[in-house]
Structure 1
Amino acid sequence: MWRTDEESFSGPAVRACAGIDAVPRPSPWGIWVPMITPMRAGALDLPAAARLAERYVEAGVNGLVILGTTGEGSLLTSRERQVFTAAVLEAVHGELPVMAGVGAVDTRAVCAQVAELDAFDLAGYLVPPPYYLRPSDEGIRWHFNEVARVSDRPLMLYNVPKRTGCGMSPALIRSLLAHPRIAAMKECDSGNLAARCAGSRDHVLCGEDTAMLAHLLGGGAGAIAASSHIRPDLFVRLLHLSQTGHSGAARALFTRLEPLIALMFSEPNPAPVKAALALSGEISPETRLPLRPASSALVQRLEEAMALLPPPYKERERNLAA
């Protein structure tokens, strides 16, 4: 079960990272990477997935979310979801918590996904409201209560109206966060982050990358950021600066990151993320239809934006000492 102490949400690599103090927290926090699912010739590229997961451990991120929107989870078979989960968990060796995305139109299908994955040592499940149906608050409440019955592991609410077709009201969010098995929420509506998180900001992770800086400087718990795939060390640094009172340096760093963040969402996710990782030779840019790989024009712009990012901090320190 996902414990409610600091050890549950950050492994040894995180606690040693960038001077971030290990402070007990009651819910997930920090920078979580919503991992892409590498593919090659139509099949899962599990060695590439393991290499990516190891890289994120080394970078000091606070957790991984697999099988979500960025992970093309809704396009994977049940068997693929289980095999991918096993590969990522083996790669991180318990040094990072790993959460799985589950979602569908039918609540029973979501419960079935949870039941299939619950044999794995996951930190919990990222759960949106049912897609497409646009249920009432009471219908959404029933949905989450039913999913919570399937597993002892905690849930994270996933409020993403532009994908599901419905948003969760502030009153509903407050009541759901009081559920003993609902630990946090991922908020993807930047216009609602401040208003909806009032009084419960420590339970809310930003799911809109462009709003990440404001959320972190305002005391938000952290972010689940697709753009953090590319240079996770810079996003960990951004978190550290924001949490230690260095707001000016945090703003300066975020200004350097903004061009890349904008490009990450200029074509359907996760095609830009995969294209950027492919430029570094880490994966193939392949997506699963009906999603298409990033356009050649975007690939060129990504390459230019990545070249303008600061060097890794260890490399930067060596250059300054030379």
Structure 2
Amino acid sequence: MTEGNFVDYIKIYASSGKGGRGSAHLHREKYIAKGGPDGGDGGRGGHVILRGNKNMWTLFPLKFKRHFKAEHGGDGSKQRSTGKDGQDVYIDVPLGTIVRDGETQEILFEITTENTQQILLEGGMGGLGNWNFKSSTNQTPRYAQPGIDGKEGWFQLELKVLADVGLVGFPNAGKSTLLSVLTAAKPKIADYAFTTLKPNLGIVEYRDFQTFVIADIPGIIEGAAEGKGLGHRFLRHIERNSTLLFLIPADTNDIKKEYEILLNELKKHNPELLDKNRLLAISKSDLLDDELKEEIKKELPKGIKTLFISSVAQQGLVALKDTLWQMLNN
């Protein structure tokens, strides 16, 4: 998937169908002059329904179709015939989609499982036909109910990427390079900050044909939780990952300080992120000899397992995959 095709925020306009009118028909046929009321009910207006689709990774399909309108219900007719229900409109969205009211920004619901269906807007109920109003005191009602109007409005869809592992690090830490080596993904790679502007997903092939999904999240900078850099736009994607892989280059001046800054930004955004499994990988380790590695180990942050890897030199990647797999399955 190219970066330009990754859409994680979009606004749509939806309207449900109006209910059909009830019929005020009076039964008439040969030899039956006054057969009484037999008007049927109107059909229900069509719903607008969101449906989870595991084969979608982005909101890109909705980029060019943002207006959705369900069908109106059919009118009732004679012989108590109920009108046809309006056809529902289904909007497929990727798993991890949050739906907000376009005006109040209130979260309405989330789609996180395959084939989950949530009614975004209910269609209007059909009106009752006149036969419903027949009574001993009113044996020939000549009125019926109109259908109830449908609903409409703007809605905001946000995608939080669903991945097993999220790559966390400063810009230019080598996250995209690692993703390209571990998976078949082809992220944009260059020697400058913020090469990655949107998350990239890749599938890591493990032993015995088993796989897990890893996401390259755009780089964090200090102050990201307050919206600096790419700010909240990418921090929300980390919330869905069960394991966080912190990536810090070996040539960083202070690895421990950089790790603490990253951890602090996550904590300010959402303290619950600190409850996730964490692993620290020191990238570009092909620049280090054994003596330098020993010196670095003395200054590493406590309480987190650390591995030395090199994406370019293909060092430590098997151990990295083994460790991630164990963390994901324990």
TM-score where L is the length of structure 2 = 0.27
- Max radius of gyration: which structure? 2
